[in-house]
Amino acid sequence: MPLLESQSAAGLSASTPAEAAQDGRRPARRILFLDAYDSFTNNIVSLLKEALGDDVLVHVLHMDLKTLHADPGPDWTPEQFLARLPAFDAVVCGPGPGSPLCEADVGAFRLLWRLRDEAAVPVLGICLGFQSLVAHFGGGIRRLRRGLHGMVRDIEHRSGDIFAGVPPFRATLYHSLCADVGQDDVSRDAWETDMWLPPKGAPDLVPLAWTMEESEDAEAEPERILMGVRHARLPFWGVQYHPESVCTDAAAQGVLKNWFSQALKWNEVTGRRVRPVDFEHIFDSLAPATIVERRLAAQNHIATQKWWRDMQSGLAASRAAPVYTCRRIKLPDGVDAADVAELLGVGGVDSIMLDSSSTVNGDPLARSSVIALEVDQALRFEYHVGDNWVTLRQPGAGGQQETCQRIEIDRSDEHGAYDVWNVISEYWQQRKIAEEDGQEPAFKGGFMGFVTYEMGLGTLTPKSVSDSRGHHRPDLCFAWISKSLVLDHQAGVAYVQALTVPDSDAQSWIDEIVAKLQSSRAWQQPGYGADEYRAIAAKKQANEALLKSIQEPSGRLRFNTPQPNKYEDDVRQCQDAIAEGQSYELCLTAQTKMIRPRGDDVPHHLRPHGTPWQIYRTLRARQPAPYGSFIRLGGATILSSSPERFLGHDAKGLCSMRPMKGTVRKSEAVSTLAQAEALLHVPKEEAENLMIVDLVRHDLYGVCGARNVTVPDLLKVEDYSSVFQMITVVNGQLPSSSRAAPNGLDVLAAALPPGSMTGAPKKRSCEILRALEPEERSIYSGVVGFFDARGHGGWSVTIRTMFRWDDEEAPPEGPGETRPREVWRIGAGGAVTILSTPEGETEEMFIKLCGPLGVFKDAA
């Protein structure tokens, strides 16, 4: 059934060249893009539209002929693939992990190279696509001397063919393998002329561009790397570099324009007729209009969905159409969010505080802290990867029993987990509030909670999350927060606010809270509570001493830290995978376990030391962060000092991501920003960051649509309490429409797990990491944050964090101990590239680990 008739009409039948000629329009053109499960695909699609014009339709299909998740059409068979090619003016074979010699990695690329005469369709191969073309026509494929990922190089060409009229340019490279067309056998003298001649072993291939990679060994010849090629007679072209990278010069667009006009010319000269075929599912996959139309179509069918019908009653239908009530009061200078949180009962079970603790350092990113109130009465949404349902849980209050409702979701197709997000989004839709003009708090009430790494993994590569995980913990746990307090540290105001059903007595509740705040010591003696924690924080040990001291058995605390040798081996394995072409960068991590006697059931004001809240206060004193959090929800306790924002967005659909890559530890030798910049603005660190930037652009384009993503801040070094970090800001604008605009939840669902925690390409990298890392990452590498009733959101990457699950226990071990012990975890890691050293990565992992680890040792 053609779901979106208007689109197929726009795509195909309405724009045959003859019809378009009649009404004077340029005929719409169609490109088929074969995606090899890369993390840069959407950037290329967007660039094609930018370079060739928005009237060029780009239909994206995976190279194994599976349709995209968003594409309602069924997967294609090889026969259908061949039969549908006449509908396209040209095909692009994209980049991807793996080898062009491996059938599973290139899939349908190979079907194209066999086409002849009328059937031959013009193709552009990019990176893996280019290598596949070369390999098919007699070229060899070998490893580069050293892989080049996120490296920007001069592309040398003679202004011929698809390079005609293109000025010299620099382009980003992402490859480990390269074309071997006998270039190393050509003598230095003959090179200048022979480099442009069809090589002996592959006489059908005409070299169009090269790059010369200087060798580390000054004596050795530079490595000759083929960068562009065309087939001597057939309409096949390829480029090894990545035209779509944010660091590739804009001039390189000329190559795409030339290729496409050559492709059209080929069709014209050979009489290859581009014509409608009996197939209605051709889409402009990434056009913002397609994204909106798909959502409209889905919405028109929503009432046929079981999950949606289930949501029309019970807990899912409760508390609809809330009213927002708020009082704005002055926030005295220096009021400490943790003192306020403590006053309001945060710290026990059921607490959520998003804490901009680095406001004490004047950090411009540390704008607001959000304290959720009455969390124990908030409705929860919980989902465990692998389940066919979402649980809505209303905790019992005032002696009443907890009530639950299950919303069944359809997981028959492997991407069914997206329905979890639909359930959440639908609940939000019915409780949405309008944005007002003027100064508004960061959060006005709505969802707050956490998402695990495995939740992202479950949608990205479902088989990576086993069905028998040995626990039934939520991978997503959101609470719908009705009452909250926001401290805007920069504006010096606090918002006491309620999002409640119309007849509730929100005003008097607000009066009560305001009175409590204004008469409190937290308000009147700002920062009074911090001294005790500052004192513990100040006793920070050097990392080496800390790691040594935790090896000594203390009786009470037991630490299980990663083995340096094993970690170094894992780094080497990552580098082997990269050298094979399986990944461009891998964010390897390891977990530390800390085991101690139970302690969390004593209220913190009765216990002198070591409650989760007290540990958290020490963490935020020692390691203030803009995106810290204290969360006890869904059986998890999370103490985080995250410096990394994953995603922020407003209600108008402006999304902003801040991938962080590149870390230096503060020390006497490196204490200023300028010193850190000198260390971080080097090819290794910039490449690490750039790879994730290109990946995040792809993730955002996927939801925002082609041409809707920008990079306002590239490779900026920022100052944190114990490290300097390099960050980039990537912004996207969601397409708007009154009824069916995608929102921040769609971005979140599509972009998890955070690219900075996986590496690129994301899917293959996650599979490699899953095989190397023995345990689930769980809370670590996921996100925590909020999505409020207006549609504003803020999510941080869960790093520099310790966490525990209530149901994870270890046997008692101390003298006289009878109760099981509690288990805490800290994950830490970093991006491994071809330029990493096992020792350097291991050191980086320990630096990141030692912050929270030292806090645990001193405060737990």
Interface with ligand ISJ by CB under 6 A: which residues? 587, 589, 644, 660-663, 756-757, 797, 799-800, 827-831, 848
Q: Which does 756 bind (CB under 5 to 8 A by kind): ligand ISJ, ligand GLN, none?
A: ligand ISJ
User: Would you say 63 or 845 has its CB closer to ligand GLN?
Assistant: 63
**Least distance in Å: CB of 581 to ligand GLN?**
3
User: Would you say 424 or 769 has its CB closer to ligand ISJ?
Assistant: 769
**Least distance in Å: CB of 576 to ligand GLN?**
13
Structure tokens at 323: 């009213």
Cα separation, 486 vs 734, whole angstroms = 26
User: Which residue among 31, 56, 95, 283 contacts ligand GLN (CB under 6 A)?
Assistant: 95
Cα separation, 478 vs 307, whole angstroms = 18
Q: What is the CA radius of gyration of the chain?
A: 28
CA atoms within 13 A on the CB side of 512: 8
Instruction: Judge contact between 623 and 641, C-beta under 8 A.
Output: yes
User: Would you say 97 or 458 has its CB closer to ligand GLN?
Assistant: 97
User: Would you say 97 or 785 has its CB closer to ligand GLN?
Assistant: 97
Q: How far is CA 157 from its chain centroid? A: 35
The torsion angles phi and psi of 592, rounded to 5 degrees, stand at -110, 135
Q: Which does 446 bind (CB under 5 to 8 A by kind): ligand ISJ, ligand GLN, none?
A: none
Cα separation, 242 vs 441, whole angstroms = 42
Residue 755, Cβ density class (10 Å: 0-12 exposed, 13-18 middle, ≥19 buried):
buried
Q: Which does 587 bind (CB under 5 to 8 A by kind): ligand GLN, ligand ISJ, none?
A: ligand ISJ
Site for ligand GLN, residues 50 to 69, rule: CB under 6 A: none
Q: Is residue 97 involved in binding ligand GLN (CB under 6 A)?
A: yes
The torsion angles phi and psi of 325, rounded to 5 degrees, stand at -125, 140
User: Which residue among 62, 84, 157, 175 contacts ligand GLN (CB under 6 A)?
Assistant: 175
CA-closest candidate to residue 333, choices 614, 496, 522: 522
Instruction: Judge contact between 254 and 239, C-beta under 8 A.
Output: no
Q: Is residue 176 involved in binding ligand GLN (CB under 6 A)?
A: yes
Per CB under 6 A, the segment of 170-178, 536-544, 667-675, 707-715 that binds ligand GLN is 170-178
**Could you identify the residue written with the tokens 């960051």?**
689
Beta strand pairing status for 493-500 and 323-330? antiparallel
User: Would you say 37 or 630 has its CB closer to ligand GLN?
Assistant: 37
Per CB under 6 A, the segment of 92-100, 153-161, 544-552, 726-734 that binds ligand GLN is 92-100
Per CB under 6 A, the segment of 175-183, 435-443, 650-658, 848-856 that binds ligand GLN is 175-183
Per CB under 6 A, the segment of 47-55, 94-102, 322-330, 521-529 that binds ligand GLN is 94-102
Q: Which does 177 bind (CB under 5 to 8 A by kind): ligand GLN, ligand ISJ, none?
A: ligand GLN
Q: Which does 599 bind (CB under 5 to 8 A by kind): ligand GLN, ligand ISJ, none?
A: none
User: Which residue among 31, 91, 93, 127 contacts ligand GLN (CB under 6 A)?
Assistant: 127
Q: Which does 612 bind (CB under 5 to 8 A by kind): ligand GLN, ligand ISJ, none?
A: none
**Could you identify the residue written with the tokens 């990269």?**
578
Q: Residues 519, 521, 523, 525: what is their CA dihedral angle, to the nearest 10 degrees?
A: 130
Q: How many residues does the chain have?
A: 860
Q: Which does 848 bind (CB under 5 to 8 A by kind): ligand ISJ, ligand GLN, none?
A: ligand ISJ
Q: Which does 260 bind (CB under 5 to 8 A by kind): ligand GLN, ligand ISJ, none?
A: none
User: Would you say 34 or 571 has its CB closer to ligand ISJ?
Assistant: 571
Q: What's the CA angle centered on 596, arms 591 and 602, to 5 degrees?
A: 125
DSSP string, 572-623: HHHHHHHHTTS-SEEEEEEEEEEEE---TTS-TTT-SS--HHHHHHHHHHHS
User: Would you say 173 or 859 has its CB closer to ligand GLN?
Assistant: 173
Residue 766, Cβ density class (10 Å: 0-12 exposed, 13-18 middle, ≥19 buried):
buried
User: Which residue among 8, 84, 98, 734 contacts ligand GLN (CB under 6 A)?
Assistant: 98
Q: Which does 662 bind (CB under 5 to 8 A by kind): ligand ISJ, ligand GLN, none?
A: ligand ISJ
Q: Is residue 239 involved in binding ligand GLN (CB under 6 A)?
A: no
From residue 772, how far is each of 381, 570, 590, 777 by CA, in Å?
31, 7, 10, 12
User: Which residue among 51, 177, 205, 423 contacts ligand GLN (CB under 6 A)?
Assistant: 177
Q: What's the CA angle centered on 698, arms 692 and 699, to 5 degrees?
A: 90
User: Would you say 800 or 821 has its CB closer to ligand ISJ?
Assistant: 800
Instruction: Judge contact between 139 and 230, C-beta under 8 A.
Output: no
Instruction: Judge contact between 174 and 246, C-beta under 8 A.
Output: no
**Least distance in Å: CB of 234 to ligand ISJ?**
43
**Least distance in Å: CB of 132 to ligand GLN?**
9
Structure tokens at 384: 């465990």
Per CB under 6 A, the segment of 123-131, 354-362, 470-478, 564-572 that binds ligand GLN is 123-131
For residue 239, give the DSSP letter. Answer: E
**Least distance in Å: CB of 662 to ligand ISJ?**
5
For residue 625, give the DSSP letter. Answer: -
Neighbours of 53 (CB within 10 A): 13
Structure tokens at 660: 């962080």
User: Would you say 54 or 773 has its CB closer to ligand ISJ?
Assistant: 773
Q: Is residue 626 involved in binding ligand GLN (CB under 6 A)?
A: no
**Least distance in Å: CB of 175 to ligand GLN?**
3
For residue 523, give the DSSP letter. Answer: H
CA atoms within 13 A on the CB side of 505: 5
User: Would you say 174 or 523 has its CB closer to ligand GLN?
Assistant: 174
Per CB under 6 A, the segment of 174-182, 269-277, 594-602, 728-736 that binds ligand GLN is 174-182
Residues that bind ligand GLN (CB under 6 A): 95-98, 127-128, 131, 174-177, 581
